[in-house]
Structure 1
């Protein structure tokens, strides 16, 4: 329990993103419970650096692949300011929820003219991977 408390503290308060990322990863692997889930949901949105947010997104999708996680990942795929967490959320959605809802989201984002070319490409590539190997090859 002492180790868990230390990791929880490091996941939130460490000045550098590498210890926060490592703490997030360790907590998800060793203590995959609701307390950790709530912490990861918070870090996926609130961490100042993109890499801890990415790890939190990936861990949530891996350990808690339910509708609550899907909603959070959909939000992160659209609202995160940095491409790496957006990409992590998009990839997790395509992997864990390869259904029509995910396809619709990716399709809408792939043609959204308010997005940058890079953002539209992220969504197009994820849609291609979701649909088929042929689409993936064509889009990349």
Structure 2
């Protein structure tokens, strides 16, 4: 059987895998939709793009989409412990990190800040006690060489 033709001037097919792929959105189950919408809009500057009775689509200033989904507790089912544990955010502005820390502290007085391998982390929780981590600077400006101990669980 003949091999598929290749472009002699282009990169091999393996190098194209994932080249244009990026995380565009996330889905978070929440217990109180209105409270969670206020939290993410207040702390991270999201705007509400769509809102229905049990779901909202929020969009960040950079275009990241966050779906918040609230289901009646009697209809929830356990999906186990495998899946997204938390989202980690990043900023390239120390001033923005400090502003996020203050806004986050307005929702969670137990917010704390620490530095690991040159990266400053602000940690707190959203209204459902889901861990929120914000890093400065972003991996675009300070590539990570090791996994921070705070991200190991």
TM-score (norm 1): 0.25
The structure whose residues are more often strand, as a share, is: 2
Radius of gyration: which is bigger?
2
- TM-score, normalised to structure 2's length? 0.23
As a proportion of its length, which structure holds more helix?
1
Taking CA–CA contacts closer than 8 Å with sequence separation of 6 or more, which of the two structures ends up with the larger relative contact order?
2
